[in-house]
Chains A and B, each alone.
Chain A
Amino acid sequence: MADVIMVGTGGQGIILAARIAAEAAARMGYDVKTSEVHGMAQRGGSVVSMVRWGERVFSPLVPRGRADFLLAFEGLEGLRNLHFLKPGGKVILNLYRLDPLPVLRGDADYPEDYADVIGGYAPGTLTLDAAALARESGNPRVASAVMVGALSAYLDFPGDVWEEVIRSLVPARALEANLKGFEAGRRAG
């Protein structure tokens, strides 16, 4: 069983990433629940998706201090949601910064030391540059597949299960890039 939190900002592909993880867990025979955010919060705001699997899953929400994995697609959002991680939980941190409006306007400072703070709090944090790995895979837009690939390295789901799921969820024109991005993330994990 595992509880996974994926955080970032609207438009980073978090809903798709959460679906890929959820479908993979379902194919492994687990009971699965997810929770997504739609509507107002998506317009450039913080986004949190949750995926849980196990023999039987009740709540779609993961309470704070209970998550096995925190996938931070963006640095500030990783910091903001650190409280979800359980002691000993694993952080996969994308080295990406997207300034929120108060920072853009010069009214607040971006926490530039986010990787150090997160790494200090959660020893064993994996940091990666998902956009760079995505570019190397031929398409900078598949960073979310890279992040799921990194997660997959810490799970015992066979590679062909992930591939089947990605094939079933990603449109044909973006499929090869997503599969490559996933593999790049999996190697980085």
Chain B
Amino acid sequence: MKRSLLSGNEAIARGAYAAGVRVGTAYPGTPSTEILEELSRFPEPYVEWSPNEKVALEVGIGAALGGARTLVCMKHVGLNVAADPWMTLAYIGVNAGLVLVSADDPGMHSSQNEQDNRYYAVMAKVPMLEPSDSQEAYEMARAAFDISERHDIPVLLRTETRICHSRGMVEYRDERIEVDLPYEKDYRKRVMVPGHARLRHPVLVAKLEELREESERSPFNRAEMRSSRVGMVVSGVCYQYAREAFPEASILKLGFTHPLPEKMIHEFASRFHRLYVVEELEPFLEERLKAMGIDAVGKARIPRTGELDPDAVGGALADIIEMDTGIRGGGWSPPQLPELPPGARDLPARPPVMCPGCPHRGVFHLLSRMKAVVSSDIGCYTLSVFSPIEGIDCQVCMGASVGMAMGLEKAFATSRANRGKEGKVVAVLGDSTFIHGGITGLIDIVYNRGASTVVILDNRTTAMTGFQPHPGTGQTIRGEETFALDLAELARAVGVESVRVVDPWDLKETKRALKEEIGSDHSSVIIARRACVQRERGREFLPYEVDAEACNDCGLCMRLGCPALLRRDGAVRVDAALCAGCSLCAQVCRRGAVREVRRDG
């Protein structure tokens, strides 16, 4: 037995490894990314960054049917992409164990929404486990494969940011079991024509009852009896918050949360006047308890948005528990919060920014100046929304920029209210995002005779999640060389009329391409290609400097929003330590006041 401080993500990977996982697939997404990266440190499993989460799950399904235990990882919104195979997988079963990790993001630290993916277990009728710390993440990842195989069904391991990116002590084994199951043809079970699916659905419903029995006996569900007056029901990281806020409360700690152990819940509920349900986001447990006829208080007190912490839980429940039981503050000790001094209030914000030298900056600067209608996507470039660039109009999910641009174009084309805008629409997305979800939208533009322009910001990596390779980079997750998808050839192959590649550090060339293509009446793709500045090792450059005599403080360069430029005492200066030598500031300066630092100087 080893003991280490592991993040929840590392613990999941080690649990899966110990369970004999032979295939691991994922698309990177915060907070889930490090699970597959950790799994890839072991030599035995086959691991892949898939082009998107749907493909990741489909490869996973094939691998499980083929007899290999399989781990498929994604962030919460990734499961929306993979929802199609997910909804039918439970009908056909898995053969070898298949565990899908969904990493939710309450508080939206790095996400576009805070959907509660526990409902995906209910909708797909699959068992769900929710760890409350790294140790449980390890144990549940291991156990999930046994549950999956025992019931021939996929398992949803639902985790969240404060599990994934928290460290805690984990006792674990490094040895690994071998699982290698025979593949046998069984098309009545695995080909979901209506006649077969009608037979499989009742089988699935029956499995849920078997799983409910398993949930009743599961070590991941347990009643911790302390107070005879205060009873709480919790799952996930909220267990920790409830334990800390109300140390004396009795807690029904649920880890196997679908199907719920109803007998156990009734037995626990029978000891209390009413139950308090502590959960983040949706009233998932609360609604189920109420449907069971149990008096439960949850979202009437605890916020339905954002993430919790011990005092958020304490403050939400203290008075109602006091009213119900007479226990002062319900047993919660509020913190002493002295008033902050005036100097610590109303502080300037520190929004995340594109790095100095970021190849995306120039494109958004130009689009902003052109007053284009910019349909954007998910990646570092989304940061161009902030002042001063404010370079994008809308953004929903991975790849959506392309279809949305087509829709905007078609709406403007028949609009009197938006005359003049039809020639201004552009979609902007990253290379990895284009491969993930943009290519089908591009096919639509060509097929339906659209004239939209799609700008692919090709920085040769998946930057926001930590520089993972993708099909366009010519490298696999293990660093092996592979075929590098040529985005320009791909765009030509689907029928795009005009495909150009530009260097986004060259503003003149980029501007010309944008002007010519956005206003044109044919489909076009502009690939703005330059490697992410964070990934360029050993590039030699000289930083820039401002000639204070020549600078008239007009502020044009400051519109680039570059963190290496600062405005002080009537002039602009370049922070040479931060400057990446991209020259954009020199290119936008009308007075020639910005120039490369002289080599001899």
Which residues of chain A are near B169, meaning CB under 8 Å? 26, 31-32
Residue A40 interfacial (CB < 8 Å): yes
CA of A123 to CA of B223 in the docked complex: distance in angstroms?
45
With A40-B464, A64-B337, A86-B336 known as contacts, the answer to whether A35 contacts B166 (CB < 8 A) is: yes
Number of A interface residues, CB 8 Å?
Answer: 60
| Stretch from A100-108, A146-154, A156-164, A173-181 that touches the partner | A100-108
Mark each residue of chain B from 455 to 474: 1 if its CB lies under 8 Å from any CB of chain A, else 0.
Answer: 00000000011100000000
With A33-B167, A60-B166, A65-B336 known as contacts, the answer to whether A39 contacts B567 (CB < 8 A) is: no
CA of A110 to CA of B30 in the docked complex: distance in angstroms?
31
CA of A34 to CA of B169 in the docked complex: distance in angstroms?
10
CA of A43 to CA of B351 in the docked complex: distance in angstroms?
9
Contact at B567–A106, with CB atoms within 8 Å? yes
Q: DSSP majority for the A interface?
A: mixed
Contact at A102–B343, with CB atoms within 8 Å? no
Q: DSSP majority for the B interface?
A: loop
With A22-B5, A41-B110, A86-B336 known as contacts, the answer to whether A77 contacts B350 (CB < 8 A) is: yes
Which residues of chain A are near B243, meaning CB under 8 Å? 58-59
With A41-B352, A114-B343 known as contacts, the answer to whether A105 contacts B241 (CB < 8 A) is: no
What is the chain B residue whose CB lies nearest that of A10?
B352
Residue B48 interfacial (CB < 8 Å): no
Min CB–CB distance B411 → chain A (angstroms) = 30
Contact at A60–B348, with CB atoms within 8 Å? no
Which residues of chain B are near A76, meaning CB under 8 Å? 347-348, 350
What is the chain B residue whose CB lies nearest that of A9?
B350
Which residues of chain A are near B465, meaning CB under 8 Å? 39
With A63-B310, A117-B341, A121-B344 known as contacts, the answer to whether A43 contacts B355 (CB < 8 A) is: yes
Which residues of chain A are near B567, meaning CB under 8 Å? 104-106
With A33-B167, A58-B241, A120-B341 known as contacts, the answer to whether A39 contacts B110 (CB < 8 A) is: yes
What is the chain B residue whose CB lies nearest that of A60?
B166
Residue A167 interfacial (CB < 8 Å): no
Contact at B110–A101, with CB atoms within 8 Å? no
What is the chain B residue whose CB lies nearest that of A23?
B5
Which residues of chain A are near B312, meaning CB under 8 Å? 63
Using C-beta atoms within 8 Å of the partner chain, give the interface range for chain B. 35 or more
Q: List residues of A (93-119) whose CB comes within 8 Å of B's CBs.
A: 99-111, 113-114, 116-118
Residue B104 interfacial (CB < 8 Å): no
Which residues of chain A are near B558, meaning CB under 8 Å? 104-106
Contact at B110–A87, with CB atoms within 8 Å? no
CA of A35 to CA of B229 in the docked complex: distance in angstroms?
33
Residue A16 interfacial (CB < 8 Å): no
Q: List residues of B (558-579) whose CB comes within 8 Å of A's CBs.
A: 558, 561, 563, 565-568
CA of A10 to CA of B311 in the docked complex: distance in angstroms?
27
Which residues of chain A are near B241, meaning CB under 8 Å? 58-59, 61
The interface centre, meaning the residue of A39, A65, A100 with most chain B CB atoms within 10 A of its CB, is A39
Contact at B353–A60, with CB atoms within 8 Å? no
Min CB–CB distance B353 → chain A (angstroms) = 4
Q: List residues of B (540-574) whose CB comes within 8 Å of A's CBs.
A: 558, 561, 563, 565-568
Min CB–CB distance B158 → chain A (angstroms) = 17
CA of A43 to CA of B7 in the docked complex: distance in angstroms?
21
Residue B354 interfacial (CB < 8 Å): yes
CA of A82 to CA of B344 in the docked complex: distance in angstroms?
8
CA of A9 to CA of B351 in the docked complex: distance in angstroms?
10
With A22-B5, A33-B168, A60-B168 known as contacts, the answer to whether A40 contacts B30 (CB < 8 A) is: yes
Contact at B109–A37, with CB atoms within 8 Å? yes
Contact of A117 among B34, B244, B343, B566 (CB under 8 A): B343
Which residues of chain A are near B309, meaning CB under 8 Å? 59, 61-63
Please, could you name 8 A-B residue pairs with CB atoms under 8 Å apart, sorted by A? A37-B109, A59-B241, A61-B309, A64-B311, A100-B350, A106-B567, A111-B343, A113-B343
Q: Contacts A43-B354, A80-B344, A100-B349 given; 20 further ones with Cβ under 8 A?
A: A10-B352, A26-B169, A33-B167, A37-B109, A38-B30, A39-B31, A43-B353, A43-B383, A59-B240, A59-B243, A60-B133, A61-B310, A65-B335, A79-B347, A86-B335, A86-B336, A99-B566, A105-B567, A120-B341, A121-B340
Binding site for B on A (CB under 8 A): 9-10, 19, 22-23, 26, 31-46, 57-66, 76-77, 79-80, 82-83, 86-87, 99-111, 113-114, 116-118, 120-121
